[in-house]
């Protein structure tokens, strides 16, 4: 096993056979943290964004916070109910993309795909940036280096996901469940203290908020509605990640659709409970919270705050006050919150590669995205997602408040098209269904999807109006870019398929085969190539040598005559010491002289066993093959000659082939390997 194989084994684990795909499927207890961590983690920043938006009009606007929480909860409930219909109707894992493509056409499906791709990248960027900000608050040494630390976290997540979805899910389950217990426990304890009348105030309760210029005093009806719309659109960030389960149905254990629907229901109940509880507690505990870049709007008794004032996140302030006198509980909440923000990106690392593989199968993405790696994960999709997220993190310096403005536009575009597609799906099936019970079920499902479409359409309009100038236009441009790229890729694959389609002309034999064997020296590889070319019985066979040194050329011609080789040797003079160009030009001239013929070029190559030996041999041959590939009517054949060092690679491959792996004895594969070894 080579150094590269050893490193890969250490980082990713041993390879899995395709037949072991069933072993990677997820039970509900693992699927919940794998696919729901994004939606659950939004509790760590969605309430913050609601209070930031309301603070523009001062602390008096916080009276609307719980009403906004209820509105967001209603939208989430409608979307969850809608997606429960989707996972039953389309369990293949295409999710919104498949629904839109089947029911609304290819253009709608491509639009949904572009929206989801952008949203997945933003999910990673927002979650990791938020986690990096939490880490910088706890570790002063990271302050100012959040982007670099965020990029490091993305690489770690990428490596964990390359090990396979089940293994990464097992690693993420513990912190995700710890986050649920910590937040729900904090909220329950806080609400109990509220009921008992001894709920303490948060550390920022004594501060005052100076409204933004133009928002002082009583607001007009229009200004108030616009402010509430902005707060509502920011709070709707809590809905991101809901669609991931519909894209990941194939990863569930059987019955897949039922398990996915149950997981969706659990996700909705937990996420709604946590978000509403956090916002209600924050309001009751006197929270004052502004944009981290506008801390000068916070004052204490009319006096500015110290320049080193550190505004803690909403959850951190609630936890410190609720668990006053018991610091371990506070640190537990803050720690698991920071961890879940990082792990929330794992939802995208599971959804993006699956969507990429489906797009690759349909010809809208590079075929490489549809290939599974050693651990049966879609490795290329995972790496591409990590690369794009790192670019965003550095571009926005890991600032969550700036990135959040780009968020949720894409996901609500996919929500709307998906719900419209589901309505058409049920309408189409109702035309042919005759069973009364089944028709009632379909009508009920269509009503649920219609309600979901109504809610998500309203939210999309609000988001576009309130966030367009704040950064949503960047998301729209990115969606247009991905849409055009996917259409271009699909067009390319269609053109290639059309060109490659076989017809009667492909059966016509070439009228003449002119074979040339490249000669650098008269040694064993050259003699083997000459013998092989002669065995193919071409119409014309000749050796070709590029002369750059008269002395070496004379020596070769003498040796050629001494060995009495009955094949003519053609010498191409190269005054500028080029090796590739003379051969390409010569092959082109032969082809031009006989357009219906074929020029067969035989290239002797060394086969070596060590990676560093590859750098010392065959470089000219590689360049030549690269040039000849673009020459019509020219066929290139490599004639390998195995050097002694190549035996090292062969022995290494045999050792790896016959090595007994864990589970081979149970699967009865040890004896079959021994039989193969005996036959060899």
The pLDDT value recorded for residue 434 is 87
DSSP result, 475-529? HHHHHHHHHHHHHHHHHHHHHHHHHH---GGGGPPPS-EEEEEE-SSSSHHHHHH
Q: Could you give the CA distance from residue 672 to residue 650 in angstroms, rounded to a whole number?
A: 20
Structure tokens at 276: 């509403």
The pLDDT value recorded for residue 545 is 93
Q: What is the DSSP letter of 211?
A: P
Q: Could you give the CA distance from residue 173 to residue 343 in angstroms, rounded to a whole number?
A: 10
Which one has a higher pLDDT value, 401 or 655? 401
Work out the mean pLDDT of the chain and round it to a whole number: 82
Architecture of domain 17-210+226-494: Up-down Bundle (1.20)
The reported pTM is 0.71
The pLDDT value recorded for residue 340 is 83
* Domain assignments of the chain as residue spans, ordered by start: 17-210+226-494, 508-642
DSSP lists the bridge partners of residue 604 as 639
pLDDT digits (tens, 9 = 90+) for 42-83: 888 788 889 988 988 888 889 999 999 999 999 889 889 888
Q: Give the residue-averaged pLDDT of 255-264.
A: 87
Rg of the chain over CA atoms, in angstroms? 33
Please check whether residue 12 is in contact with residue 372, taking contact to mean a CB–CB distance below 8 angstroms: no
Q: Return the CATH class of domain 508-642.
A: alpha beta
pLDDT digits (tens, 9 = 90+) for 387-435: 999 998 898 888 776 776 677 788 888 888 988 999 999 999 998 888 8
Where b means 16+ CB within 10 Å and e means fewer, 42-70 reads bbbbbbbbbbbbbbbbbbebbebbbebbe
Task: Decide the pairing of beta strands 303-304 and 513-518.
Answer: unpaired
* Predicted confidence (pLDDT) at residue 8 exceeds the cutoff of 60: no
pLDDT digits (tens, 9 = 90+) for 140-188: 787 778 888 889 988 888 887 776 554 455 566 888 889 999 999 999 9
* Predicted confidence (pLDDT) at residue 661 exceeds the cutoff of 60: no
């Amino acid at each position: 096993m080579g150094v590269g194989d050893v490193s890969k084994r250490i980082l990713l684990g041993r390879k899995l056979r395709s037949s072991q795909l069933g072993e990677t499927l997820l039970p509900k207890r693992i699927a919940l943290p794998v696919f729901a961590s994004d939606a659950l983690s939004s509790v760590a920043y969605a309430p913050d964004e609601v209070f930031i938006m309301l603070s523009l009009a001062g602390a008096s606007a916080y009276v609307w916070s719980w009403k906004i929480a209820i509105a967001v909860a209603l939208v989430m409930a409608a979307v969850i109910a809608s997606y429960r219909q989707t996972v039953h109707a389309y369990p293949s894992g295409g999710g919104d993309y498949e629904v839109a493509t089947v029911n609304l056409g290819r253009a709608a499906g491509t639009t949904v795909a572009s929206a989801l791709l952008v949203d997945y990248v933003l999910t990673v960027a927002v979650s990791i940036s938020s986690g990096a900000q939490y880490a910088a608050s706890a570790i002063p040494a990271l302050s100012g280096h959040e982007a670099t630390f965020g990029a490091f976290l993305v690489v770690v997540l990428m490596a964990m996901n390359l090990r396979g979805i089940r293994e990464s899910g097992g690693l993420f389950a513990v912190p995700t469940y710890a986050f649920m217990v910590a937040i729900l426990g904090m909220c329950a304890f806080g609400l109990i203290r509220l009921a008992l009348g001894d709920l303490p105030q948060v550390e920022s309760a004594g501060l005052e908020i100076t409204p933004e210029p133009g928002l002082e005093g009583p607001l007009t009806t229009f200004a108030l509605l616009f402010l509430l719309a902005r707060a509502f659109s920011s709070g709707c960030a809590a809905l991101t990640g809901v669609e991931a389960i519909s894209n990941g149905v194939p990863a569930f254990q059987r019955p897949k659709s039922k398990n996915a629907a149950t997981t969706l229901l659990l996700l909705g109940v937990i996420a709604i409970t946590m978000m509403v509880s956090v916002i209600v507690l924050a309001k009751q505990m006197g929270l004052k919270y502004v944009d981290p870049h506008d801390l000068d709007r916070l004052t204490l008794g009319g006096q500015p705050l110290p320049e080193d004032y550190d505004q803690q996140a909403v959850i951190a302030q609630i936890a410190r006050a609720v668990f006053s006198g018991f610091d371990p509980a506070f640190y537990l909440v803050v720690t698991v919150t920071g961890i879940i923000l990082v792990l929330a990106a794992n939802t995208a690392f599971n959804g993006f590669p699956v969507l990429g593989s489906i797009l690759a199968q349909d010809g809208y993405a590079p075929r490489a995205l549809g290939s599974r790696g050693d651990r049966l994960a879609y490795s290329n999709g995972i790496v591409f997602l990590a690369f794009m997220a790192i670019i965003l993190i550095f571009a926005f310096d890991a600032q969550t408040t700036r990135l959040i403005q780009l968020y949720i536009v894409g996901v609500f575009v996919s929500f709307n098209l998906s719900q419209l597609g589901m309505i058409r799906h049920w309408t189409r099936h109702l035309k042919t269904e005759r069973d009364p019970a089944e028709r009632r079920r379909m009508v009920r499902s269509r009503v649920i999807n219609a309600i979901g479409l109504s809610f998500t359409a309203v939210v999309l309009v609000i988001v576009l109006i309130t966030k367009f100038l704040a950064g949503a236009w960047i998301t729209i441009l990115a969606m247009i870019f991905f849409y055009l790229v996917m259409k271009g890729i699909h067009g390319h694959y269609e053109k290639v398929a059309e060109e490659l389609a076989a017809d009667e002309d492909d059966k016509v034999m070439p009228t003449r085969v002119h074979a040339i064997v490249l000669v650098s020296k008269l040694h064993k590889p050259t003699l083997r190539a000459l013998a092989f070319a002669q065995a193919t019985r071409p119409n014309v066979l000749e050796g070709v040598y590029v002369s750059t040194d008269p002395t070496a050329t004379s020596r070769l011609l003498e040796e050629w005559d001494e060995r009495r080789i009955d094949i003519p040797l053609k010498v191409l003079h190269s005054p500028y010491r080029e090796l590739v160009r003379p051969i390409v030009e010569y092959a082109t001239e032969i082809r031009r002289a006989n357009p219906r013929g074929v020029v067969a070029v035989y290239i002797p190559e060394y086969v070596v066993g060590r990676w560093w030996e590859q750098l010392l041999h065959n470089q000219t041959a590689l360049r030549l093959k690269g040039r000849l590939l673009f020459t019509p009517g020219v066929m290139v054949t490599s004639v390998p000659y195995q050097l002694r060092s190549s035996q090292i690679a062969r022995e290494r491959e045999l050792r790896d082939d016959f090595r007994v792996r864990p589970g081979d004895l149970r699967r009865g594969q040890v004896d079959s390997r021994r039989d193969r070894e005996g036959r060899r």
